[in-house]
Structure 1
Amino acid sequence: MEIIGVTVSPSRSQFLEGESVILNCEDDSSAGWTLRRNISRETRTQCGSERGSGDGLSCKIKYLLLSDSGVYWCESRGGGASSMVVNISVSGVLHVEKISETTD
């Protein structure tokens, strides 16, 4: 059985809301792998099918939302084999305002 991996660019697992990410199945043979995601217990979809873009082997999400947090993996088209999983975590954006000091 062929073992493939998932690459994440930029190479990290924690992102801020609004950032972008590209995920790829590491498969040179193009033997029918599909990048999947599970962002809730009930949802198991092809990455890019609802938001973002992709060709099956890759997926680009241009603007991450909190709801994009979840598990991503590559799966053979027949469903008989899958890759190691990647856990992506998206957290809210921290807004910082500069407060000007006043003198009396």
Structure 2
Amino acid sequence: MVIAPVTSIQKITVSGTIFDAQTKEPLVGVNVVVEGSTVGTISDISGKYSISVPDANATIIFSFIGYVTEKVPVGGRNVIDVSLIPDVQSLDEIVVIGYWYSQEK
């Protein structure tokens, strides 16, 4: 009789809150992605997120325009709170253009 080893893929749900490192305000709309996959989510209006990772050795990438991208190893944790640091250089590269149109009748 041959017994095959049983391998189970155990996904882990990781959640937490994402803050601005300087103001301590929650960040809305931060991209949260499992490195090397297409699994991702965004932070809600309170800066909270929840994502399913394939295992305890996964790495989560947190990215947001105007902030330094952070890569955080899960390390078996279920709660990971992250503070993103503003990226002053990238803010210099953003150009905002506004238009105003008015027509009298």
Per the normalisation by structure 2, the TM-score is 0.25
Per the normalisation by structure 1, the TM-score is 0.25
Structure having the larger proportion of residues in strand: 1
